[in-house]
Amino acid sequence: MSSTAGQVIRCKAAVAWEAGKPLVVEEVELAPPQAMEVRLKILFTSLCHTDVYFWEAKGQTPLFPRIFGHEAGGIVESVGEGVTDLKPGDHVLPVFTGECGDCRHCKSEESNMCDLLRINTDRGVMLNDGKTRFSINGQPIYHFVGTSTFSEYTVVHVGCVAKINPAAPLDKVCVLSCGISTGLGATLNVAKPTKGSTVAIFGLGAVGLAAAEGARIAGASRIIGVDLNSKRFEEAKNFGCTEFVNPKDHDKPVQEVLAEMTNGGVDRSVECTGSINAMISAFECVHDGWGVAVLVGVPNKDDAFKTHPMNLLNERTLKGTFFGNYKPRSDLPSVVEKYMNKELELEKFITHEVPFSEINTAFEYMLRGEGLRCIIRMDA
């Protein structure tokens, strides 16, 4: 065990004291892990849109002060009672959703939506005792999606930690703990395009480009990127996109444009925007008889999906996915191996890097729409 096992650790964390205000890097106290928890030393973390969305406190109950962050790579510092499959020194990816191994979802080969550990954005405390592990002078600092990786150390439920190959560079594979795996898995695990097929990707942000990368890995012959921002098209070529459509350039629904381009419709589509109109277009653009559309983006709470039932009766399939249908502990290690085997390219997703002291710069990049993923080096 490490020399700090069982003790309170003082470490630096980027604390969000109120919505939309710059994070403050300051010293926090982190309690040791309790039963079925592990304490991690975070080496690299990256910023995802979900962090920004909840930092801005849009559309949900605000909870502050809070430590955000959920895409990261680190090393196990110590483990709590009952933890048998992780030990200090293991290289890991903490994940915003989990795999308890015991519930119906975990025992199903079809689902990754663990009853115990699936994402909960409202909960700011640990499951074990309903309390936080972070504090400043006795004041609780709330957790975020069970990970809180904008801290030099964090405590996570063991079911939300994937043990990975120690040879994998954590500054690259850390991006696999959320958005990249979500897009990649939506294509490879859910849409499942065959070699030579035609795939449309709606939304060319990081998740959409990961979905395109999945189509490239699967051997799709045509990968059509659909986005309202034509500036994204050049970059998307690096992720396998062969053609592009901006719906604003046409005076007819984009699903009709795609049907004309593909002799009746694409074989597979993956929607990564959260726009209800894009979701409907993604479904209606697939070919009758065999077309499959997969929804990844999260809609607004009042949205309703409307399409004519004949679109389904004509043998089009509509599917949804959560975290690319990957079970975090069982499946993420093999995604890391795809990178190690050079099947999957991650470097092209990483467009910026900043030291931990400049974490607010990462937020500025994202708010300006600059780049894809910004890596935050915790030791710098």
Catalytic choice (45, 99, 106, 174) = 106
Looking at 103, 337, 351, 361, which residue is catalytic? 103
Q: Which amino acid is at 224?
A: I
**Given the residues 4, 37, 45, 48, the one annotated as active site:** 48
| Annotated active-site residue in 91, 133, 143, 178 | 178
Alpha-carbon gap, residue 92 to 113, rounded angstroms: 20
**How many residues are there in the chain?**
380
Is 143 tagged catalytic?
Answer: no
Active site residue 178: yes
Which SS3 state, helix, strand or coil, does residue 200 take? strand
Buried b (16+ CB within 10 A) or exposed e, 314-352: eebebbebbbbbbbbbebbbebbebbeeeebebeebbeb
Mark whether 352 is an active-site residue: no
Alpha-carbon distance of 335 to 343, in angstroms, equals 10
Measured CA to CA, the distance from residue 256 to residue 253 in angstroms comes to: 5
| Annotated catalytic residue within 39, 66, 105, 118 | 118
Per the annotation, the verdict on 157 as an active-site residue is no
Instruction: Name the pairing type of β-strands 24-30 and 134-136.
Output: antiparallel
Output the six-digit token pair for 163.
């043990």
Catalytic residue among 37, 66, 77, 100: 100
d(CA 85, CA 78): 12
Query: Which one of the listed residues 91, 232, 268, 373 is annotated catalytic?
Result: 373
Strands 198-202, 222-226: pairing kind = parallel
Candidates 4, 50, 97, 187; catalytic one:
50
The single residue of 37, 66, 71, 271 carrying the catalytic annotation is 71
Tokens of 107: 């025992």
Active site residue 308: no
Any catalytic annotation for residue 49? yes
- Catalytic residue, candidates 37, 39, 45, 70: 70
Please answer whether residues 60 and 122 qualify as being in contact, where contact means their C-beta atoms are separated by less than 8 angstroms.
Answer: yes
Is residue 50 flagged as an active site residue?
A: yes
What span, in angstroms and rounded, lies between the C-alpha atoms of 174 and 71?
Answer: 6
The tokens 């959703």 sit on which residue? 97
* Residue 61 · residue 171 · CB < 8 Å: no
Q: Strand pairing of 198-202 and 139-141? A: unpaired
Residue in 45, 114, 187, 262 annotated catalytic: 114
Active site residue 106: yes
The answer to whether 373 is a known catalytic residue is: yes
Q: Which residues are catalytic?
A: 48-50, 70-71, 100, 103, 106, 114, 118, 178, 373
